[in-house]
Structure 1
Amino acid sequence: MRRGVSFQIPNEYGNYLWKILKPFNVGNYLWKMGGESYFVIDGELDYEKFLLDNSVIEGADLASRLRNNQYYAIFVELRAYPLGKVVNQINTYEEFMNSECELVLLLVDSSYVSIYCKDINVVEKLYLNALKNEFEDVKFITDENDVRTSLTVW
């Protein structure tokens, strides 16, 4: 069974998270976020954090932030919960499958992206979107090839 998609993005600043999530309706969810990412202003790294650790943001606000800014993402965890549902911590794939969370995006070392999604149609769209954006090493994450023991970047 397909769990999600993985690929590599360029190790540079931009708005890659927006490009990655374009097939997913970001605005319809609450997002639990964490990791290490910074704004880029006039081509220079600004040490103001772009995504705040362990905070929850409404989807419209996250979509605007991802689309309208330049940022350098080093480690990122984004979890999408339907509006009005309980936002809780998820550490394993089993916890993800038994939770209200619909999508988990993990970015490691500025390049390595793994996305887990419960909707197989969205998984297919994310896969095709990654190919369209010419990301590298695009493949499906399946029950057979998933080597992750946790859905965290730390």
Structure 2
Amino acid sequence: MRGLSFEIPNQYGRYFYDILEDININKYFWKSGDGEAYNIENNELGAAMFPHPYTYNGEDFYNQISAKDYYVIFADLKAFKEKTQVQAIATYEDFLISQCEIVLLIVDSSYVTIYVKDQYVTERLYRKAVQNGYENIAYITDHNDPRTALTLF
């Protein structure tokens, strides 16, 4: 089992938080890559959530994703246990040999793909996706994974 895929509603909310809240977000360093997500200000798109690729400590990342609503168009987030181990991850093979623990990709505002090294975390994320009512939830395995890259562009 490599991870999960599912669909979230194409609307603003706190989807990073909703997806990840059952795992210990604070224990990771979160690297934001290319993406497009905007804070919602006065019911309109506001400032970019992740204006530049950056590495957040767990607390800062938690505060960023839990404080207010946002709209995600594209997202590329990767979680590492050690800040010194943060690196670029382009393929599933890169992911396997790296210290990266979680890859979270969102495409076209709705399509979520999560790669996770810890099967227990994968199960928790699966249960959370079901609880949140997300659609087309499926495990990603060696046999059904269509991705060749773990980046957006």
TM-score bracket relative to the smaller structure = over 0.9
RMSD: 0.9
Q: Return the TM-score normalized by structure 1.
A: 0.96
Query: Which amino acid in the other structure matches residue 57 of structure 1?
Result: Y
Q: Secondary structure at the match of 2:18?
A: helix
**1:28-81 deviations in Å (ceiling 9; x for gaps):** 1111102111110121111x1111332111111111111111111100011000
Counting only pairs closer than 5 Å after superposition, residues 32-111 of structure 1 correspond to structure 2 as 32-34=31-33, 35-46=35-46, 48-111=47-110
Q: Which deviates more from structure 2 when the two are superposed, residues 89-98 or residues 79-88?
A: 79-88
Q: How does 1:121-136 map to 2 (within 5 A)?
A: 121-136=120-135
**Runs of 5+ in structure 2 lacking a partner?**
none
* TM-score normalised by length of structure 2: 0.96
Identity %: 45
Deviation at 1:84, TM superposition (A): 4.1
Figure out how many residues of one structure are paired with residues of the other and give that number.
152
* CA contact 1:106–1:114 (8 Å) conserved in 2: yes
For the Cα contact (< 8 Å) 1:37–1:72, is it kept in 2? Answer: yes
Structure 1 residue 142 and structure 2 residue 118: aligned?
A: no
Q: Secondary structure at 1:20's aligned position in 2?
A: helix
Name structure 1 gaps, 5 residues minimum.
Answer: none
**C-alpha displacement of 1:25:** 1.0
Equivalents in 1 of 2:7, 2:60: separation in Å? 26
Q: C-alpha distance in 2, partners of 1:53/1:100?
A: 22
Give the SS at the match of 1:102. Answer: strand
Larger relative strand fraction? 1
What letter matches 1:93 in structure 2?
A: Y
- Judge conservation of contact 1:85–1:100 (CA < 8 Å) in 2: no
SS in 2 for 1:97: helix
Cα deviation 1:82-129 (Å, max 9, x = unaligned): 134411000000000000100000000000000000000100110110
Take 2:16 and 2:83, find their aligned partners in 1: how far apart are those partners? Answer: 24
Aligned equivalents of 2:96, 2:56: Cα separation in 1: 22
CA distance in 1, matches of 2:87, 2:10: 30
SS in 2 for 1:89: coil
CA distance in 2, matches of 1:57, 1:81: 10
